[in-house]
Amino acid sequence: MNVLKYLPDEYDGKGQLRLPFLFWPIMLLLARTWLLLVMAGASRQQGNNLLALFYPDRQAFWIGLALGTPALLGMLLTGYRTRWPRLWQYWRNVLLLSLWVNLLWQGVQFTQGDLLSSPLPLLLTLFDLLALLWLQFNTRLRDCFSPEHHLE
DSSP of 69-128, one letter per residue? HHHHHHHHHGGGTTTSHHHHHHHHHHHHHHHHHHHHHHHHHHHTTTTTTSHHHHHHHHHH
The residue extents of the domains of the chain are: 19-144
CA distance 131 to 128: 5
Per the DSSP assignment, residues forming a β-bridge with 150 are 16
pLDDT < 70 regions, the chain: 1-4, 56, 114-117, 148-152
Q: Quick: pLDDT tens for 63-99.
A: 889 999 999 999 999 888 888 888 988 999 999 999 9
Quote the pTM value: 0.84
CA distance 15 to 42: 37
